Amino acid sequence: MNILVVHEVDWLKKVTYEIHHLSELFSLEGHKVYAVDIPDPGNFSLNKIIRTNVEDYNRVYQKSSVKILRTPVIPIKGLNRLSAYFTSYKFIKKILSDYEIDIAFVYSIVNNIKGTIRACKELNIPIIHRTFDVVHELMNEKYLSKIVYKIEKESYPKFKLVIANTPFMKTWSEEMGANNVIIISQGVDTNIMKKLPKDKELQKSLKISNQDRVVMYLGTIHSISGLPVILNSIPNIIQTIPNFKLLIVGDGIDLEKLKDISKKLKIEENIIFVGYVPYIDIPRYCSLAELCINPFEITDMTKKLSPVKIFDLLACGKPVLATPLEGMLYDFPKESNTVIYENLESFTDKMIELFTSNSLEQLGTRNREFVIKNFTWDIVTKKMLNEFDHMIK
């Protein structure tokens, strides 16, 4: 079949995400895959790369092939998304027709969703939405939140199928008016995300000694990450574990805030800020950590989540300590003995307790086995393609 994947971010600049995995895996299953993105020009750019389609693109799987079709935009930051709102309809309709698209698999909800829905309706092409987030809750500006909520409310009844990743997102999609909602959890490539021996070269470059006890945080650094709580507890942690190191792999709007906290508390030597790293390098960084953490604050938004990074960390054979997000509890229930859950208030106490136990290595091995059995991308891909085939028929 001919599959069009629609997103509203820059396909080339976005960190490796489910859209990349599934699109490339669809192509490896023999389907023709096309992807619409909204190019990010930075502050301003007339570089041809932001308006030139990309043939045979792949990021994760070398033999896969996805054609990237770049939405015409005004090449100024902010205006690129606004202009996409107006150019997407004609652009996507032409793609649907020219490439004889059988199904539209959509991740977007703000900039190009109206144009996509309209074009698909006119050409009688099924549109399936993949739902991860309550997007309007991610907006800091109230006026934007209200606009996006209105778009969500108008869009969900028009999708032929919604594929949510957690029960919360299924319920929420139905509240938004979606008529046909199923759950397919996220996945992980256990051939890429795997347990590695300690990477000595990377260890040396990051100035980590063999005696250091390393905890790793992976992902975006934002206001709900819970990391300020961890940093403020480090002076207490090092009283028990003097060679404690926190490895932060990721970036985000709150990064400078964390750096300010570390300077204020004079704990710079205990924290290693790495920034974003290529997806395929994540196992190398995991190899340096005894424990990985996800100390998200629990809010109406975050409790719905089951972050994809958790799947990656477990597949790397790492024990994971996390706050009990109810979305995660669906994929990794307490009785599965995989993720270790602890409230944020006593999170660092639990970290110390785990470091003084001898069970971390065993926990990591069990975690990888659980993921291989339940959450590989191969499993997710086949479930998705079955739904596509059923929808087309």
Residue 13 has pLDDT above 90, yes or no: no
The arithmetic mean of pLDDT across residues 141-149, rounded, is 89
Quick check: 49 pLDDT over 80? no
Model confidence at 229: pLDDT above 80:
yes
Across 80-89, 131-140, 225-234, 334-343, least confident range: 131-140
Residue range 114-123, pLDDT digits in tens:
999 999 999 9
Segments making up each domain of the chain, as ranges: 2-187+377-392, 200-374
Domain 200-374, CATH = 3.40.50.2000
At residue 341, does pLDDT exceed 90?
A: yes
- Mean pLDDT to the nearest integer, 118-138: 92
Contact criterion met (CB below 8 Å) for 120 and 96: yes
CA pair distance 254, 375, nearest whole angstrom: 31
Q: Is the pLDDT of residue 140 over 80?
A: no
2-187+377-392 matches 200-374 in fold: yes
The conformation of residue 188, written as its DSSP 8-state character, comes to B
Buried/exposed 7-24: b ≥16 CB within 10 Å, e otherwise: bbbbbeeeebbbbbbbbb
Write down the pTM of the prediction.
Answer: 0.82
Each residue's pLDDT tens digit, 266-322: 999 999 999 999 888 999 999 999 999 999 999 887 887 888 899 999 999 999 999
Q: What is the largest CA-CA distance in the chain?
A: 66
Superfamily of domain 2-187+377-392: Glycogen Phosphorylase B; (3.40.50.2000)
Task: Report the C-alpha gap between 73 and 31 in whole angstroms.
Answer: 28
Note the pLDDT tens digit of each residue in 189-200: 999 999 999 999
Q: In what order do the strands lie in the sheet with 161-164?
A: 54-57, 66-70, 32-37, 2-6, 103-106, 127-131, 161-164, 181-183
pLDDT score at 317: 97
Helix (H, G, I), strand (E, B) or coil at 173: helix
Does position 238 have pLDDT exceeding 80, yes or no? yes
Q: Which residues are within 8 A (CB) of 335 and not within 5 positions of it... i.e. 6 or more apart? A: none
